[in-house]
Chains A and B, each alone.
Chain A
Amino acid sequence: MDNLSKKYLRPRKIPSTACSGCGLGMNHKAVVQAIYDLGLEVEDIVWGTSIGCAGRQTFGTWKGDGFAGTHGRVYAIARGLRLVLPPEKKIILTVGDGDAFGIGLLHLIHSARSNADFTVIVNDNLGYMSTGGQYGWTTPRGSKTDSSPYGMYEQNLMSDGMDVLGVLRNAGATFLARHVSMDGQRAVESIRKGIQNRGFSLIHMVYPCPTNFGSRELGTRDTVKIYNWIKKKAAPLGEEKENTLWATGIYYDASNSRREFSESIHRNIEKIRRTGTI
Chain B
Amino acid sequence: MTTHIISPVESQIAPLRDAYREAIAQKRLKLATGIVILIVATLAASWGAEVDLATLWNKIGNFTNYFNRLFFLDNGQRVWTDLPEWFWGLKKWGKQLAETILMAYVATLTGAIAAFFLCFSAARNIAPSSTLMFTVRRGLEFCRTVPEIVFALIFVVAFGLGAMAGVLAIAIHTMGALGKLFSEVVENIDLKPVEGTRASGGTWAQQVRFGAVPQVLSNFVSYALLRFEINVRGAAVMGFVGAGGIGQDLIEAIRKFYYSDVSAILLLIILAVMIIDALTEKLRHHLLGDVSS
**A and B pair up:** no
